[in-house]
Structure 1
Amino acid sequence: MHLNRTGFIKALRLALIGTTIGLATLLGSTNPAEAGRYASIVIDADNGAVLHAASPDARSYPASLTKVMTLFLLFDEMDKGRFRLDSMLPVSAHAAAQAPSKLALDPGDRISVRDAVLALVTKSANDVAVVVAEAVGGSEANFAQMMTRKARALGMRSTTYRNASGLPDTGQVSTVRDQALLARALIEHHPGYYRYFSTRQFVYEGQPINTHNRLMLNYPGADGIKTGYIHASGFNLIASAKRGDKRIIGVVFGGTTGASRDKHMAQLLDKGFARVKKGETVEMAEAEASDDLPNIDELVAAAQVAKAKAPNKVTKAKPQKVAMRGAAKPAANNDDDDDDEAVGDADPPTWSIQVGAFNEYRPAHKAATDAAKKLGGLVAKGSIDIDKTGAKKKLVYRARISGFNEDQARAACKRLERAGKACKLVNPNS
């Protein structure tokens, strides 16, 4: 079939639109502005050869992938003998004040290095990241400088760190290429400690904490390493998988949901293993164009057009309704009520707390209502849930409040315990 010049240009435009829509669908969005944040890379862990790349040197925010470098520096210090797994790290007021996702540590608490490592790789705890930073660097600001110096030493030329957690900071930037370099260096320099990134669950203060890295749970050969999310970057992921004697590392920035990002990463890793088997590499990483990935310049241009056309209108947010029956209304300007927005691939609001178990419904409901009043704004999005269990003559009514995410549930129990009330966390798998 022959096309004249006009027909060829029209067909090319349709093809570009098709691939743009294809990637947006793959990442869970048809919004070109969101797709414009996308970048990815896959490398051979043995030699660093690039197996796939799409905008690998475009800077974005690493989010909780930052904690890989935080742990790298901690592992360096452990190799020097400065810390052991049973060393206890103090919790400062600055660390305790970090936004979720976190362990809800209090100033003056202490946490072991082992628990700190596990809290970072599973829960992505921001308060623990600062605990580590202060223990290693004296202050988080000084530690951030150490992180940046380490990045340069590893060849991460486009990365700058401003904090230890990945919480939003416009000066904290990186690229997928740099994050792949970091993951490869960590596996090479700290193979013994790298195994912690494959942790599926650990128990802290009697409560199980599950990993946020769901790709690791489902992809054959995957054994780490880190998820991340802030609004400005989208859903990020570093993944490493090994099949036989071959290991590859993939990095994705800019997913619109955790699930779509994980699905896309699985496809990239599949293609990466296929290329390793064939001995193929990408000579010019910046210029690669594959069948299912559009030209990133097209996406960026589309994002700029969409932004220019978007109405410059500010809408006032509607207040949230209080779903808790019998609960006190949220207190205004309450610094304790800071668990509404979680950063770092936080768990959905499917956790509950239990404040007692009774032989009758009325006292169970009263216990839950009283607890809700003490919790104030922490239960603004929760609901009383009296769970009935047991046989007819041995019924037990468990007084529960549901609708929390894990951070909110932990904060609620801590508040009740400080008030002398019993409280038990109930995770979604209970």
Structure 2
Amino acid sequence: MLLRHLAACFVVFALALAVPAGSVFAQDRYAAFVADMETGEVLHARRPDAARYPASLTKMMTLYMLFEALERGELTLSSQLVMSREAASRPPSKLGVPAGNSISVETAIRALVIRSANDVAVMVAEQLAGSEDAFASAMTDRAVALGLTATVFRNASGLPDAAQRTTARDMARLAHALHRDFPQYFHYFGERSFRYAGRTYTTHNTLVGRVNGVDGLKTGYIRASGFNIAVTAERSGARLVTVVMGGATGPVRDAHAQELIEAAFSTLDARRDGLILASLGSPRISPIREQEILTAELSGVAGPTAMGSAASESGQAAPPVRIVVEDISELDRPARDTESDRVRFDSDAATASTGQRAAATTASLPAASTRTGGGWAVQVGAFGSQAVALARLETVLGLAPALSAASPVTEEVARDGRSLWRARFEAMDPAVARQVCADLARLGEACFAVNQDAQG
């Protein structure tokens, strides 16, 4: 039990909540999910079971059905598929095969994975089921059998259809099933380009070949969904699946997915190191205690003592750092779609993904309607990434409306030769700052009230 608790602490300590500001992820489209593909353990989940449009992530299911047909012997990689007028009429992205012409199954696989070709998706559907409608019905039935209980397919491509819905958790299940059931074909998801008719097509998945360990899978976009991605990665024998849905742009989506991947691998590394230390009987500070000390040190107040948390500038005891673990242990276990299902992690283990660092940067949150002009601040965490600090500010702003009159700020500080980012709400009245911290403490959130005038 002790080792299990220690492992859980490391999950909490190392995997940071990395939700970009609302301007880059619309809340009615955003969802994220990260799981260990070997154990099924959920490492991060944000709105994992909220209904979302899959867009071209749909083609993962089209490919699953095509791979099954190959395994049944109905087709071979060299079998020819004929492009119908109906299939050729689909809008881009497309391969542009003229109606009546044919391509091999292997070319079709690459066109679906790399080009995300809508015309080829319909070509495959017609080959396997006679019509796209019949194929979509078969896709849905097969998805349910695979455990994708919240997914309905209405076409083979992911083109807009109001009834075609899924969830981040279901897309992670599908990615897992593709890797588990068809390892002989999985290499196609890691290919970065292919040639057809004298033209070279490159993958939309820019994480492949750029982020260490990433070996697939698929991207997607329609206006209703935003930019989606399902991605798999392996390092040191650990394999992850990460799904991000609802990005405003492809680069925003990719940067967020990369940040989640890095944070998840940091979690697994920390857990492994912690278990090794525990097995050797070496003393180690509690990760929760370590983060409490870190937050206190970087807030500029006195560090925690053996008797309790740091004191605020008023002399009153500051609320302790609280770290909440999402109580989901399996990839295939559904979760309630409520705000309480958020994973909240205060961590210094996440890595910065994009953007230049500044000594003090105002977060891209809604502009304050008024300024109190006070000299106090509320610090809500210290993180290894500015993006995570910004995400923390937005999360806390939603929990404490009184902060709308304060100035959200991230500030870079150096500690032990590395950079960390403080997340603060500044220009506050002292009474308001103390009350906000008290309110956040009741919600189990980390918070320190800091007198900035006294600091310097």
Q: Indicate yes or no: 2:138 matched with 1:138.
A: no
Structure 1 segment 66-105 matched on structure 2, within 5 A: 66-105=58-97
Q: Does 1:62 align with 2:117?
A: no
Q: Bigger CA drift: 283-292 or 46-55?
A: 283-292
Aligned-pair CA distance for 1:216:
1.3
Report the residue type matching 1:289 in the other structure: R
Matching residue of 2:30: 38
CA drift at 1:119: 0.5
Q: What whole-Å deviation, never above 9, does each CA across 1:24-69 have from its counterpart, x for those lacking one? A: 44xxx6277x243211000101121101000100011000000000
The aligned counterpart of 2:345 is: 290
Match of 2:411 in 1: none
CA distance, structure 1, for counterparts of residue 221 and residue 240 of structure 2: 22
Answer yes or no: is 1:169 the counterpart of 2:161: yes
1: CA distance, partners of 2:185 / 2:326: 31
Matches of 1:262 and 1:71, distance apart in 2? 22
Could you report, residue by residue, the CA deviation over 1:62-96 in whole angstroms, capped at 9, with x for unpaired residues?
00000000000000010011110100001111100
* Aligned equivalent of 1:150: 142
Matching residue's letter, 1:290: F
TM-score by length of 1: 0.61
Q: List structure 1 runs of 4+ shifted beyond 6 angstroms.
A: 294-299
Tell me by how many angstroms 1:276 deviates: 2.3
How many residue pairs were aligned?
A: 278
Deviations 1:306-356 (A, max 9, x none): xxxxxxxxxxxxxxxxxxxxxxxxxxxxxxxxxxxxxxxxxxxxxxxxxxx
Indicate whether 1:224 and 2:216 are aligned: yes
The within-5 A match list for 1:110-259 is: 110-259=102-251
The answer to whether the 8 A contact 2:19-2:256 is kept is no
C-alpha deviations, 1:175-214, integer Å up to 9, x for none? 0000000000110000010110011111101211111111
AA at the equivalent of 1:52: H
5 Å-filtered alignment, 1:258-407, equals 258-279=250-271, 282-284=326-328, 286-291=341-346, 292=388, 293=391
Using the size of structure 2 for normalisation, the TM-score is 0.58
> What secondary structure sits across from 2:62 in the alignment?
helix
What are structure 2's unaligned runs of at least 5 residues? 1-15, 273-324, 329-334, 336-340, 347-387, 402-456
Alignment check: 8 A CA contact 2:172 2:243 kept: yes
Per-residue CA deviations over 1:209-231 (Å, capped at 9, x if unaligned) read 11111111311110110000001
Q: Contact 2:32–2:168 (CA<8 Å) still a contact in 1?
A: yes
Change (3 A) 1:23 1:44: closer
Provide the C-alpha distance between the structure 2 equivalents of 1:260 and 1:181, rounded to a whole number of angstroms. Answer: 23
**Residues 242 and 126 of structure 1: CA distance in aligned 2, closer, same or farther (over 3 Å):** same
* Distance in 2 between residues matched to 1:43 and 1:212, nearest whole Å: 23
> Secondary structure, in 3 states, of the residue corresponding to 1:225?
strand
Aligned 8 A contact 1:92 1:108 in 2: yes
Instruction: Please report how far the alpha carbon of residue 297 of structure 1 lies from its aligned counterpart in structure 2 after TM superposition.
Output: 12
Q: CA RMSD in A?
A: 2.5
C-alpha distance in structure 1 between counterparts of 2:245 and 2:255, whole Å: 13
Counterparts of 2:136 and 2:56, CA distance in 1 = 14
C-alpha distance in structure 2 between counterparts of 1:239 and 1:97, whole Å: 30
Distance 1:296 1:110, change over 3 A: farther
% same residue? 45
**Contact between 1:23 and 1:35, CA under 8 Å: does it hold in 2?**
no
Gaps of 5+ in 1: 1-18, 303-430
Deviations 1:217-248 (A, max 9, x none): 31111011000000101000001111121110
User: For 1:106, what is the secondary structure of its paired residue?
Assistant: coil
**Does structure 2 retain, via aligned residues, the 8 Å contact 1:51–1:276?**
no
**What CA deviation, in whole Å up to 9, does each residue of 1:403-423 have, x standing for no partner?**
xxxxxxxxxxxxxxxxxxxxx
User: Is the 1:40–1:176 Cα contact (8 Å) retained in structure 2?
Assistant: yes
Amino acid at match of 2:163: G
Matched residues in 2 for 1:191 and 1:116: separation? 18
CA distance in 1, matches of 2:397, 2:170: 23
Q: Give the CA deviation at 1:105.
A: 1.8
User: Helix, strand or coil for the counterpart of 1:216?
Assistant: coil
Give the helix-richer structure, 1 or 2: 1
Change (3 A) 1:31 1:241: closer
